[in-house]
């Protein structure tokens, strides 16, 4: 049975799962769905058309599913989808999508620290950590196991690849490729995220062989530490590095970039 503080305001059309906890002065609007065992702290606002999974923890002052700040948004139905086992700390803001029936998405097992902002139509994967004041513009995509430093900011439509690390206070106006570390204002690629790769491997419970790491290091040097342009570097990678799924993933990410790569 759910536990709702008497000062909380929960709309009759909101759906709360078993053992949900709702703290003092929290507001839950209509058409909200909250999964079992999720704990919602005091002074939280959960806006219309927000869906939250199971076993999440939501702390003081967060506002989830607030209307898109895109000037094109005119109040139509759009969604915020939040997965399972997320920890959402104080004053986090997540906006719903701009597009009608579109969704801003947060996956599973993420940690969003104080004052993190996820703008409309963004997609955040699983096992992502975003430190204090990290800010995503609209339509940003963050892939699994990424690490986002405090006060890092991302221009609209920028992508961050899996197992990448964004430095604190960095400004990203172009894509951060998988497995890489980016930092600076504007950000550039500073190295291969070897520590992050090890952490991601533990979480995923699979092995990344020494051979995979060696191939990724070779690819990094050709892409970002040679005098080759990106197309030439990719050609050399395909000629010189044995077939490797992680290297191929890196190449596909770069080739599909629309904003270009933070070199």
How many residues are recorded in the chain? Answer: 263
Phi-psi region of 216 (alpha: psi -120 to 50; beta: other; left: phi over 0): alpha
Q: Decide if 184 is catalytic.
A: no
Angle made by CA atoms 88, 92, 96, in degrees to the nearest 5:
100
Q: What one-character-per-residue DSSP string does 62-93 give?
A: -EEEEPP--TT--S---EEEE-SS-EE-TT-E
From the CB of residue 186, how many other CB atoms can be counted at a distance below 10 Å?
12
Q: Indicate the DSSP class of residue 175.
A: B
Supply φ then ψ for residue 28, to 5 degrees.
Answer: -120, 115
| Phi, psi of 129, deg, nearest 5 | -115, 125
Active site includes 120? yes
Pairing verdict, β 117-118 and 135-136: parallel
Q: Which residue has the tokens 């950000």?
A: 187
- Residue 88 and residue 60: Cα distance in Å, rounded? 9
Q: Is 11 a catalytic residue?
A: no
Q: Which of 84, 108, 109, 121 is catalytic?
A: 121
- Please pick, among 41, 43, 107, 120, the residue that the annotation labels catalytic: 120
Q: Which residues participate in catalysis according to the annotation?
A: 120-121, 138
């Amino acid at each position: 049975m759910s536990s709702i503080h008497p000062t909380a305001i929960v709309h009759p059309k909101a759906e709360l799962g078993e053992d949900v906890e709702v703290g003092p002065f929290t507001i839950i609007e209509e058409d909200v769905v909250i999964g079992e065992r999720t704990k919602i702290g005091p002074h939280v606002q959960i806006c219309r058309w927000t869906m939250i999974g199971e076993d999440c923890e939501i702390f003081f002052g967060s506002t989830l599913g607030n209307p898109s700040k895109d000037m094109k948004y005119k109040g139509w139905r759009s969604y915020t989808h939040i997965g399972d086992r997320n920890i959402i700390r104080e004053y986090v803001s997540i906006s719903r999508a701009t597009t009608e029936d579109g969704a801003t998405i947060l996956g599973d097992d993420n940690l969003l620290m104080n004052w993190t902002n996820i703008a409309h139509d963004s997609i955040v994967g699983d096992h992502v950590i975003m430190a204090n004041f990290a800010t995503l513009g609209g339509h940003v995509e963050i892939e699994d196991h990424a690490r986002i430093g405090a006060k890092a900011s991302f221009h609209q439509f920028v992508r961050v690849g899996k197992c990448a690390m964004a430095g604190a206070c960095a400004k990203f106006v172009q894509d951060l490729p998988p497995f890489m570390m980016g930092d600076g204002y504007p950000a550039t690629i500073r190295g291969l995220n070897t520590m992050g790769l090890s952490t991601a491997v533990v979480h995923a419970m699979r092995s990344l062989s020494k051979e995979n790491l060696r191939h990724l290091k070779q690819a990094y040097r050709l892409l970002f530490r040679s005098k080759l342009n990106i197309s030439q570097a990719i050609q050399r990678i395909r000629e010189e590095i044995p077939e490797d799924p992680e290297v191929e993933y890196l190449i596909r990410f770069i080739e599909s970039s629309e904003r270009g790569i933070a070199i």
